[in-house]
Each structure stands twice: as structure tokens, then as C-alpha cells.
């Protein structure tokens, strides 16, 4: 495609529809930055248990750039942007598991849906998903001490269960519905869920904030009995958060910024220093 | 006529006091066994099984060749099952999975997998069944029904036996059952707490809060009055040796591994007051062994992938139910389990779309759909070996009857040899 080189981006398109998963943590701006077209094409990827070159599975255009564009269906391609520290990946379609997991910086934009473990254990950077995501976004891997630790995940669609599991720092904002156990075992950080949420938000949380706006939610789930009501107030920090989100372009209603919130603290079987804030219309 | 001592290869109890009277290769009598055990030994008849390829009779060599060719072509194969065979065969299955760069998973995926996840997260305060027999004075059955699923558990270990520090037997124990309905186990218990389905997590949280002396502004939780839970907490705190035995009523209901995490956290908290422990009621007789062998060989207990030559562990990604539901695997080797009869339909139906090999000592439901079916000798009936009891104690499986069929290990070895020859 003409013009790609001039815009200095690297474009990848799958050559075939993948019937088995592909592991491609090499699709990362850190690795593409200094490499020629040839070198990028010969980076190793795994199609199931077959070790192959990137060029065997994808059409590649452009070279030496930290600006990567992925076009097509990447829903079976795992670990895109895994551990990346700079640059940008723009995914114009669906994307597979572990996208942006353990990333330290840079930006990932997903136009479609993302699967499980999006931004798991990330340490910085921004992930913006226009569609829905699977389970464990920003969560910890099994047996790990903490989940995401700095950075931001913005999701416009719905999410699965255990989003922000054991998160330590950072922000997750979800426009759509969330599954069960939102922010389970949270150690810090902030989760803003604008629509309905599943059962048991904030279970076993130690510190951190979960903000529930419960938009269009006729039947909100009861909080766990181990959360206690404190007061109704208008938290200052939340105004800063909401205004920042709005500045980034994430839709936030005006009334949320000045609105009042019921505060519950918990989970009292753990440290009890966490809070759930529920917007009061 | 001779009497052979045997170990029953059915449930996680692995009763090793079975006496079997055999004459001319036929079982005449099964002593000490439960009704399941008696049926298992007396109805064992492997003779009419033959290897099959696409439903047609074949020789063992042909079946092995075809199995090897299916696996050789696969780019994302799955080795599944493991839990109804000996540790020796499991070890061979791990070797095969590593060699072919496939996924390997045990039936933990639909039973106690969440238990393993919880144990990795918060630890495992556990003991052997012998310690329960000798010491326990408070037994809590949570979401399990041993009277029907582990018939001799109650008589041999957990409720009625007299022990070293519990000479009174049943009278020296308080038995509590927490379940969604009054099961036969509930009927032999002193206290039965009927819990609403999927509310276990809330109840554990409340028990933990009560244990910490927190004041809760509720009257009941999960259908159980708060006073009943206060009473239970007092019993738990004041017993000398307490044990929670839990089953799939906890692992496969809403919350899954987090239910178990909450249960283990409660047990951990209880140890500030008294000795309290927890044991999962494992179903298949050697599913604990599958976890043990996989951990010993690879460092991880289940849901493993060898695509890159080294083990990657990630339940949810490499668990069988998820792999099949997402239609990711392109061939499967199933041994010692019947996934089409036990997996969710959404997952098992995909098996019909891919070639798969079944190794089983009986013509299971899955075997009737298999591309290649290879009958094998039954571990614990026709071959000896090692199996792990639900509490992690290794027990010797013994040979009772002869079998015309090869063992799981020999078949796996045959497939491996063919794959290596290339």
C-alpha cells in the first residue's frame, strides 16, 4: 500500500484465518522500532506448536516504527504488545488473549473486542477497547501477588468476571456491564463501572476504590454483608478522575462530576480499608 | 478359588482393605467393598472389546499407527483425562504431551480445578484421612454428599470410626452438613444448614467476619439465620480438631475458586483458636495423582501447554472445557475419562468435529464417537500401579484379574515410539 512508509507505521494483516491459536508477543513496538522490513518478517511466532516467522502468517508493510497497525481478525493471536514499553498498537478488529499484559508504557487501541487477561499485571501505559473484553482484565495471573500496578484501561463495552483482580495501582473504567467479582482482592487503585455490575463487587478487597454508577440498572446486586455504610458525600478525588477521563475522550455525564455518592467500606474480613462508592441519582 | 486383597479403583477414598474371591478368572465375591466397588469388580468384563478405527474393527498395530498419524498432524493437540489410571500411565502421558508440544489437562477442569487455584492463592491447611479418624471432633461436610458419592468415607474415616484420640467414635464427633438440599449425608448429621444455591461465598464471608468479632447488620445470609452461623462459629472455635470436607457444591457453583479461597481463609483464621483443616473430596480415584504427577514433572498441576517446548500454565486458557468451547484444539487423545458424558455440551460437541483417540477399559460414551478406540487393561483391576488418595497419600493398586489388553502406559509408549521414528 502506498503511503504507509511515509506515515511511518507498520501494518500487519493475517494471511489466513487461524484455526489454532498464535502466540505473537513479538508484535510489539519495542521490537519493531529498529528493525528493517526483512528483520521484522523473520521474528519468531508460534502457530500452535509450529515455530514460524511473522511473515509466514502475516502480510507486513513498513519498517522501523513504533507505530503498529493491525488489520483483520486477530482474535486467535495472543500476547500482542506483551510487555511493551513505548509506541502505539492500533488494532482494527478483535484481538486475542493477554493483549498488553505486563506492558510498561505506550498505548494500545482496540476497535473490536478483546479476550481474557487484557492488560493483566500491566505496569503502565494506556489500553482503550471500543468493544467488550473477556475475564481478568487488569488482573493478576494465577498465583501472582498483584494484578495491574499503574496504567489505565478504558473499556467501552462489557467485561467478564474478576476484572481488576488483586490490582495494586492504576485505573480501570468500564462503560458497559461488568461481570461478577469486580475488583476482587484489590490492594489499591480505582475501578469505575458505569453500568450494571455482577455479584460481589470488591470481595476481599484490602484498599482501593470501586465506583459504581449503575446506569440503566433496575436491579443492582446487593453488596456483600461485609461492607458497611459510612456516609453520603461528594468525593474530591473522583471529580479529578472523571474530568481526566472526559479530557481523554471517555464519555462521562456532567451530573457524575458534581453528584453525591454513598460510601461503603470493606471488605472487613480483610483489611477493610477499601471503599465502594455508589452514585446517588 | 483364591482370595486376593485389592484396592478399589473407583472414588478418591481408594479403600485398600478389599478382599476379592476369584475362581477361574471370575469374581465370586467382594468383601468389605461398598455397593459401587462390588459392581465394579463383579461386572468387569473386558473380553469383547477390540480396537476400532472409525467404528470398524482393526488390529492394535493399525490403531496405534492411525493414532500416531492423527497426533503427528495436529498443531494444537490435547491430551485429556488421566484421572482413572495409574500414576505410571500419567507419567507417560506427560512425556507424550511434551514430545508433541500439546496441551495436557486432567478432569480437574470440571471438578476440583478451582480448589487447586485457591490453594495456590491462599495455601492448603490439610491433613490425611487417618488424622481425621484419630482426632477430629467436628466434621463439616460442605457441598458434598459422601453417603452416595464416597460411600465408605463416613464409616472408615470421617464420622463413625473410633480413633486414638476419639475413642467414642460417632458419639465423640459433631457432624455438620451445609448443602442446598437435605441429602442422605445431611440425614446422618447432627446439624444441617440448608443454604440457598450459589450463596456459599456470602456465608463464608459472614463466618469469617463473625470469627473476627465483627458486628453485622443482617438477620440471615444465604437462607441461613445469623444465629445458626454464630452457633457454628462457636462450635468451630471450641472444637479440638475440626475439618471441612467439601465437594463440587462449592467448586462448581457461582464463585468457584473464590468460594474455596474463602473456605480456606476461614480455616486459616480458625487456626488462631484451634486446629482446623480442610480436604477436598476428590471424585475420580486418581485425580489427585494426576495433579501430583503433573506437578512433579512440570511444576504445574493441570491446564498445561507445551506448544513452545516448555510448560505454560494457565487455567481458563489451557483448560479442556475452554479449549474445546473456543474450538482451538485440532485433535485430542483421551485416556481414562469420558469427556462427552461429563463435559458441558458446548465443549463436548466440538469433539465430534475433530479427530480424537480414546483409550479406555470400557466402551465409554466418548469411545463410541472416537476416530480411534484402543481398549486397555483397567488399572487396579487388571494391572497394579500407584494412585493417590484424596488426601494425597499414595496407595498401591493391585492386580486382581488378567486382561487381554495392553496397559495405558504400553499404548502411550507405542504411540510415542511411532512419533519418534519419523
- Alpha helix positions (H), B108-253: 113-122, 129-135, 146-149, 153, 184-187, 200-211, 226-238, 248-251
CB-CB contact of A68 with A27 (8 Å)? yes
Number of structural domains in chain A: 1
pLDDT of residue A7: 58
Domain B113-280 falls under CATH 3.30.200.20: no
Q: What angle do CA A138, A131, A152 make, to 5 degrees?
A: 30
Å between A174 CA and nearest CA of chain B: 21
- What ranges do the domains of chain B cover? 49-111+285-377+404-421, 113-280
**Is residue A263 domain-resident?**
yes
B75 closest CB neighbour out of A48, A136, A226: A48
How far apart, in whole angstroms, are the C-alpha atoms of residue B171 and residue B178?
Answer: 20
**CATH no. for B49-111+285-377+404-421:** 3.40.50.740
Q: How long is chain B?
A: 422
Q: Which three cell numbers stand for residue B44?
A: 468387569
CB-CB contact of A89 with A68 (8 Å)? yes
**Is residue A39 domain-resident?**
no
Closest CA to B264 of B285, B250, B252, B253: B250
Give percent of chain A above pLDDT 70: 98
Write down the ipTM of this complex.
Answer: 0.93
Report how many Cβ contacts below 8 Å link chain A to chain B.
Answer: 89
- Taking CB atoms and an 8 Å limit, are B328 and A224 in contact across chains? no
Report B:41-100 residues touching A (Cβ under 8 A). Answer: 74-77, 100
**Is residue A104 domain-resident?**
no
Average confidence (pLDDT) per 10 residues, chain B, 422 residues: 94 95 92 94 85 96 97 96 96 97 94 94 94 96 96 95 95 97 96 96 96 93 96 97 96 94 96 97 95 96 96 96 96 95 92 96 93 96 95 95 94 96 80
Establish whether domains B49-111+285-377+404-421 and B113-280 are of one fold: no
**Is residue A251 domain-resident?**
yes
Closest CA to A87 of A138, A34, A43, A132: A34
How far apart, in whole angstroms, are the C-alpha atoms of residue B340 and residue B110?
Answer: 12
Phi, psi of B75 (to 5 degrees): -100, -15
- Intervals of chain A under pLDDT 50: 1-6
Q: Quick count: other Cβ atoms within 10 Å of Cβ A258?
A: 9
Chain A: residue nearest B307 by CA? A49
- Taking CB atoms and an 8 Å limit, are A181 and B258 in contact across chains? yes
pLDDT of residue A28: 97
Q: Which three cell numbers stand for residue A8?
A: 511511518
**Is residue A66 domain-resident?**
no
Q: Does A116 touch chain B (CB under 8 A)?
A: yes
**Is residue A245 domain-resident?**
yes
Domain containing A194 equals 116-280
Q: What angle do CA B96, B97, B98 make, to 5 degrees?
A: 90
Q: How far is CA A201 from CA B66, B160, B364, B392, in A?
A: 51, 42, 42, 35
Q: Give A66's contacts (C-beta < 8 A, 6+ positions apart).
A: A29, A30, A32, A33, A86, A87, A88, A106
Q: How far is CA B176 from CA A201, B157, B180, in A?
A: 30, 15, 13
**Is residue A63 domain-resident?**
no
Q: Quick count: other Cβ atoms within 10 Å of Cβ B322?
A: 18
Phi, psi of A257 (to 5 degrees): -70, -40
Chain B: residue nearest A140 by CA? B121
**Is residue A82 domain-resident?**
no
CB-CB contact of B224 with B197 (8 Å)? no
- Taking CB atoms and an 8 Å limit, are B201 and A203 in contact across chains? yes
- Taking CB atoms and an 8 Å limit, are B330 and A135 in contact across chains? no
pLDDT of residue A1: 41
- Give the containing element (helix H, strand E) for B177: strand B174-179
pLDDT of residue A6: 46
Q: Which three cell numbers stand for residue B387?
A: 494412585
How far apart, in whole angstroms, are the C-alpha atoms of residue B92 and residue B101?
Answer: 14
Burial A204-231 (b: 16+ CB within 10 A, else e): bbbebbbbbbbbeeeeebebbbbbbeee
How far apart, in whole angstroms, are the C-alpha atoms of residue A21 and residue A77?
Answer: 6
**For testing contact with chain A, the best of B258, B306, B321 (most A CBs within 10 A):** B258
Å between A243 CA and nearest CA of chain B: 35
Å between A110 CA and nearest CA of chain B: 21
Amino acid at each position: 500500500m502506498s503511503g504507509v512508509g511515509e506515515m511511518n507505521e507498520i501494518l500487519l494483516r493475517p494471511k489466513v484465518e487461524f484455526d489454532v491459536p498464535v502466540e505473537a508477543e513479538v508484535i510489539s513496538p519495542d521490537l519493531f522500532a529498529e528493525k528493517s522490513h526483512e528483520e521484522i518478517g523473520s521474528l519468531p511466532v508460534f502457530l500452535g506448536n509450529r515455530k514460524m516467522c511473522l511473515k509466514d502468517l502475516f502480510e507486513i508493510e513498513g519498517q522501523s516504527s513504533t507505530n503498529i497497525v493491525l488489520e483483520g481478525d486477530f482474535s486467535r493471536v495472543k500476547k500482542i504488545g506483551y510487555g511493551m514499553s513505548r509506541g502505539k498498537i492500533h488494532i482494527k478488529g478483535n484481538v486475542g488473549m493477554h493483549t498488553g499484559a505486563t506492558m510498561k508504557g505506550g498505548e494500545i487501541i482496540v476497535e473490536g473486542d478483546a479476550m481474557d487477561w487484557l492488560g493483566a499485571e500491566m505496569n503502565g501505559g494506556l489500553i482503550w477497547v471500543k468493544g467488550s473484553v473477556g475475564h481478568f482484565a487488569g488482573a493478576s495471573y494465577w498465583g501472582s501477588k498483584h494484578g495491574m500496578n499503574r496504567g489505565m484501561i478504558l473499556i467501552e463495552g462489557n467485561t467478564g468476571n474478576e476484572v481488576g483482580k488483586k490490582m495494586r495501582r492504576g485505573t480501570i473504567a468500564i462503560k458497559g456491564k461488568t461481570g461478577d467479582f469486580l475488583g476482587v482482592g484489590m490492594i489499591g487503585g480505582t475501578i469505575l463501572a458505569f453500568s450494571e455490575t455482577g455479584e460481589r463487587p470488591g470481595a476481599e478487597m484490602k484498599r482501593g476504590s470501586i465506583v459504581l454508577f449503575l446506569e440503566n440498572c433496575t436491579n443492582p446486586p446487593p453488596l456483600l454483608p461485609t461492607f458497611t455504610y459510612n456516609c453520603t458525600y461528594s468525593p474530591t478525588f473522583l471529580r479529578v478522575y472523571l474530568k481526566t477521563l472526559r479530557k481523554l475522550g471517555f464519555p462521562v455525564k456532567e451530573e457524575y462530576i458534581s453528584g453525591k455518592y454513598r460510601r461503603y467500606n470493606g471488605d472487613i474480613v480483610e483489611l477493610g480499608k477499601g471503599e465502594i462508592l455508589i452514585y446517588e441519582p | 478359588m483364591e482370595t486376593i486383597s485389592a484396592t478399589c479403583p473407583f472414588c478418591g477414598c481408594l479403600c485398600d482393605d478389599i478382599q476379592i474371591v476369584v475362581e477361574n478368572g471370575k469374581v465370586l465375591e467382594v468383601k468389605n467393598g461398598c455397593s459401587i466397588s462390588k459392581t465394579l469388580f463383579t461386572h468387569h468384563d473386558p473380553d469383547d472389546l477390540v480396537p476400532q478405527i472409525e467404528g470398524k474393527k482393526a488390529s492394535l498395530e493399525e490403531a496405534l499407527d492411525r493414532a500416531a498419524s492423527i497426533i503427528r498432524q495436529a498443531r494444537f493437540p490435547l491430551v485429556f483425562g488421566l484421572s482413572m489410571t495409574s500414576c505410571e500411565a500419567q507419567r507417560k502421558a506427560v512425556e507424550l504431551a511434551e514430545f508433541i508440544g500439546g496441551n495436557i489437562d486432567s478432569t480437574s477442569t470440571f471438578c476440583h480445578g478451582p480448589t487447586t487455584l485457591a490453594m495456590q492463592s491462599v495455601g492448603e491447611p490439610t491433613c490425611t484421612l487417618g488424622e481425621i479418624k484419630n482426632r477430629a471432633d467436628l466434621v463439616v461436610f460442605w457441598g458434598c454428599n459422601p453417603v452416595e458419592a464416597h460411600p465408605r468415607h463416613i464409616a472408615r474415616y470421617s464420622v463413625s470410626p473410633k480413633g486414638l484420640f476419639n475413642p467414642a467414635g460417632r458419639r465423640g464427633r459433631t457432624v455438620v452438613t451445609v448443602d442446598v438440599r437435605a441429602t442422605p449425608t445431611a440425614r446422618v448429621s447432627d446439624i444441617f444448614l440448608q443454604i440457598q444455591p450459589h450463596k456459599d461465598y456470602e456465608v463464608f464471608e459472614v463466618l469469617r467476619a463473625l470469627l473476627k468479632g465483627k458486628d453485622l447488620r443482617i438477620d440471615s445470609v444465604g437462607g441461613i439465620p445469623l444465629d445458626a452461623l454464630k452457633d457454628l462459629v462457636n462450635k468451630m472455635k471450641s472444637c479440638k480438631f475440626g475439618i471441612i470436607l467439601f465437594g463440587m457444591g462449592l467448586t462448581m457453583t457461582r464463585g468457584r475458586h473464590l468460594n474455596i479461597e474463602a473456605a480456606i481463609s476461614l480455616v486459616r483464621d480458625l487456626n488462631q483458636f484451634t486446629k482446623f483443616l480442610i480436604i477436598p473430596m476428590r471424585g475420580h480415584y486418581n485425580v489427585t495423582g494426576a495433579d501430583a504427577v503433573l506437578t512433579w514433572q512440570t511444576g504445574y498441576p493441570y491446564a498445561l501447554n507445551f506448544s513452545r517446548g516448555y510448560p505454560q500454565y494457565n487455567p481458563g486458557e489451557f483448560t479442556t472445557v475452554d479449549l474445546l468451547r473456543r474450538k482451538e484444539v485440532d485433535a485430542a487423545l483421551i485416556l481414562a475419562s469420558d469427556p462427552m458424558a461429563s463435559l458441558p455440551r458446548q465443549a463436548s460437541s466440538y469433539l465430534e468435529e475433530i479427530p480424537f483417540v480414546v483409550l479406555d477399559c470400557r466402551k465409554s460414551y466418548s469411545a463410541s464417537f472416537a476416530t480411534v478406540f484402543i481398549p486397555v487393561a483397567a488399572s487396579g483391576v487388571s494391572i497394579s500401579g500407584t494412585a493417590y488418595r484424596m488426601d494425597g497419600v499414595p496407595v498401591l493398586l493391585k492386580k486382581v484379574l488378567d486382561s487381554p489388553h495392553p496397559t495405558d502406559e504400553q499404548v502411550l509408549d507405542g504411540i510415542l515410539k511411532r512419533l519418534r521414528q519419523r
